[in-house]
Structure 1
């Protein structure tokens, strides 16, 4: 079979696997294995399957991923996440929608520690959501600010996603971190601006929190 035709069929097969709900990693592995089998032979495909999996897992750069996750675990269990939220709450909590603003700020600060969007969202849910419920924040604003704030972990260094992208594309990870910093800061600003506009239009969504003192 013509290699171009075979490649097109493999791509169609890949999308078919994705359409039936197969996880992306498995769908790509199966499609790649079948493509290698038809283009070369079965022995070569089996060899590539084992070699690629082994070489990928022993990559030195991947060691930063569990270390970032471990650092996030330490930060969460040491009370750093609460301290970050409380610090942002001190400056922003008394404003209308201030707790949601503090949540976005806390997410940005915590993302700079762990580099994981899921870990950031999960941690800030435990810290910020009870406070927003206490002050009768709208559920849409409460959960939306946490979910949106969690995505900041993709951009703010040290982002695990940027590390994996750099490894897969053989890009300079330091340059990727520098490239993600400014968009991450802008995302925080835009999220805060959106919350401020919403709470100004709909004051009941985010009542003012209690004033706190720095000292």
Structure 2
């Protein structure tokens, strides 16, 4: 069977399974088995067993549950409340005032949580009621939380970057470093938008009622010390060459447990909740990665990725046009799949195309993660939208409308890193010197 026809058959099987409500991981495994059993002479059962075993003991995977556990612990501490107190003292003078606390707070939380939903929920549960009580525009509050919450996927330590590093065989430490400047750039774009909005609609920004002296601001800054120390311990140990991502994740878990104990948020019940939450999320992601590895191997046997890459090459698309097509493809895919599933589902076909076009896989990883961030605020499967719908009590359409400006700002971020790829590659290249 021709490669195009075979790809169509397998894609149809995948759509039928997903539409039928079959788990994504199971769907990936079934499609891989169908490809091997019916379209190649290879022994499907033996290859399934060997692939599952080989991919399940990947050392890089050990960082995943640890960073997830760290985020679960922090979610149940007073960290978000303390951060609001510390940041509000310094950000209230900016146009837009305390709305910037959402953006900067999510950026800081992203550097310790690694998860979009955890980042959004942790900051939102304190800032949403507090800002509404002070009279800030609810639509802007929700929008900044939705957009900035996605920074947990990009600013290291990012679970999504760990997943991409595993499937693309890129250095996780270098991916973490590559995500720093783009993450800060997107924070800057969000803050600039809020400032412009506040100039256009000044009536929607309440007056600053907290007039603090410089000494009072410094005193409130003590609330930021715990989270800054945790960020320094986790990221500093990686970039300083003292620890691998897995070892840094262990340091992060210990630090998060200490913070939870000091804030008296750690009880036997909450400890078990953090463990169970981490186990559920980690097992889901690991299951998807294992079956995706089997599908990748099966697709390799069929030759579909090689033929599709050759077909794309025959179209003679420029790298920019290829990125445009892939960006649209991922945005549409993100309307129906979560980020991890998007990456692993398309890796076997997309990565060979990208390599054939001469695009750096490290840079492409940041490109993909920003697109996945955009998918977090697009219905019907935008997880940040669901989180904020539950927290705000607004319907999904209202939450989506509030998030749309930040969707387009992230699209602008994609354009900027495409025109200036050094924004992504500068720090990783410095790391190699």
Gaps of 5+ in 2: 220-433
TM-score, normalisation: structure 1: 0.87
Q: CA RMSD in A?
A: 2.3
* Whole-angstrom distance in 2 between the partners of 1:29 and 1:105: 40
Kindly state the Cα deviation for residue 190 of structure 1 after the two structures are TM-superposed: 0.3
Match of 1:170? 169
Worse-matched range after superposition: 68-77 or 126-135: 68-77
**1:7 paired residue number:** 7
1:33 aligns with 2:33: yes
Aligned 8 A contact 1:111 1:120 in 2: yes
Shift of 1:154: 1.2
Change (3 A) 1:92 1:208: farther
Is residue 206 of structure 1 aligned with residue 234 of structure 2? no
Runs of at least 4 residues of structure 1 off by over 6 A? none
Structure 2 CA distance for partners of 1:210 and 1:37, relative to 1, 3 Å:
farther
Whether the aligned pair in 2 keeps the contact of 1:132 and 1:142 (CA below 8 Å) is: yes
| Partner in structure 1 of residue 186 of structure 2 | 187
Q: Which has the higher contact order (CA 8 A, sep 6+)?
A: 2
Quick one: distance in 2 between partners of 1:208 and 1:96? Answer: 11
Distance 2:87 2:179 in 1: 22
- Which shows bigger deviation, 63-72 or 171-180? 63-72
- Tell me how far 1:129 sits from its aligned partner: 0.7
In the aligned structure 1, how far is the partner of 2:53 from the partner of 2:135? 52
**Which one is further off, 123-132 or 15-24?**
15-24
Worse-matched range after superposition: 195-204 or 179-188? 195-204
1-10 or 148-157, which deviates more: 1-10
Deviations 1:130-171 (A, max 9, x none): 111111222211111111111111110101100010001111
The structure-2 alpha-carbon separation of the partners of 1:49 and 1:99, relative to structure 1 and needing over 3 Å to count, comes to farther
Deviates more, 1:110-119 or 1:88-97: 88-97
Q: Kindly tell me: are residues 24 and 200 of structure 1, through their superposed partners in 2, closer, same or farther at Cα, counting changes over 3 Å? A: farther
Instruction: Count the aligned residue pairs.
Output: 214
Question: TM-score when scaled to structure 2?
Answer: 0.46
Measure, in 2, the Cα distance between the counterparts of 1:192 and 1:173.
29
Q: CA deviation at 1:59?
A: 1.9
